[in-house]
Chain A
């Protein structure tokens, strides 16, 4: 239990470093930036208590916020998907799965996991960009930023998941 939490912590720090040091500086075509720190919340294993999931989400968001200067935005968005993740995982995981199922392509099935990621990531992006552009009157720009960012994040997350869990 402690070891798996530690592993999770290292993984979270690594993702946050990548987010803060590399991805926050990348703006494809001048729009948006990939947001992949939500992967920390997406991959929380089944059986994580809902309160623990919420704390993971909020903590991750808070760190991302401090480094990106977006106080409250990431923490609100990640807390929200951390609230959704456990019940969604229950619904989307295969019936006969083990108790502490860790979401991945191999444990949930390719198509199921892709849907799972895509849905949570979309929620994260919608909340993030809605809060960020609070009084923004360029609605088109928000929509484009969100779209570009969403596509880039999804691509990166799929890649990252393949690197982390290579096919046997």
Chain B
């Protein structure tokens, strides 16, 4: 009997090894789709708190660069505002119509400011954690943008934090179009470089040049139309040779991002209910 027990205990580590590896495998398959469980992701309270301290400390270090970027952005916007004001004055002068559809679109959007507290770009499925949650009005499926363009889509929320599926995620697929044309497709990231994404299914008769602008199409309720995504860097043939596949240089460098805005679309529920009918 004693012999028997000894023999069993000599192999107990094998059993433990297998058990722990199976457990890891279970975690791997169960929780890598994030939405399934908020508590086991970076958005859980403990992890988010630690990441938030870190983000606070880092934001001081990154302030000069952020400031420079903001100033530059400000100048561009100021410039645009001047041009628009000028144009508005012209249209008012020769037409009584002051109806502005763009204004109409934006009126129904509320921007919720947030800071990124955890970020990754090196994985196949990258996620971000931001410090705005359900208490701030964030809900899953809302779009997240920065001053330079689209960042991602909210996938899960806790009271004070949200988990955002970055555009650098193999499951991300954002409806986009070539600015000024009706050609649209889906923007996908295939791993690798954090500034390279692809737009599929662009018809062969489309006139495309390197440097053409890609923006959101507005077909989904997540992003309004016309938000900057990036520029065409390379025009390639799709794998079946029937269409173009565009390599896109993304405008937003997710790796160096701190301040973002969540787009809260008050019409979203309405649009979604129409889509499901």
Contacts and interface: CB of A to CB of B under 8 A. Distances in A.
Interface stretch (A101-109, A128-136, A155-163): A128-136
Interface residues of A, number: 42
B54 A54 contact: no
A79 B20 CA distance: 7
Interface in A125-151: 131-138, 141, 145
Nearest to B29: A72
Nearest to A71: B31
A131 to B, nearest CB: 6
Contacts, number: 108
B190 A138 contact: yes
Interface string A13-40: 0000000110011010011110000000
A75 B54 contact: no
B99 to A, nearest CB: 46
Interface in B165-189: 170
Contacts of B50: 20-21, 67
A131 B10 CA distance: 30
A54 B47 contact: no
Given A138-B190, A141-B192, A76 B25 contact: yes
A50 interface: yes
Given A51-B13, A145-B122, A72 B27 contact: yes
Contacts of A79: 17, 20-21, 24
Contact of B27 (A75, A133, A134): A75
Given A30-B194, A69-B34, A145-B122, 5 more contacts: A27-B255, A30-B122, A65-B27, A71-B28, A72-B29
In the A-B complex, the 10 residue pairs with the closest CB atoms: A72-B28, A72-B27, A76-B24, A50-B13, A71-B31, A75-B24, A141-B192, A79-B20, A71-B27, A72-B24
9 contacts: A27-B121, A50-B16, A71-B28, A71-B32, A72-B32, A73-B28, A83-B13, A83-B17, A145-B122
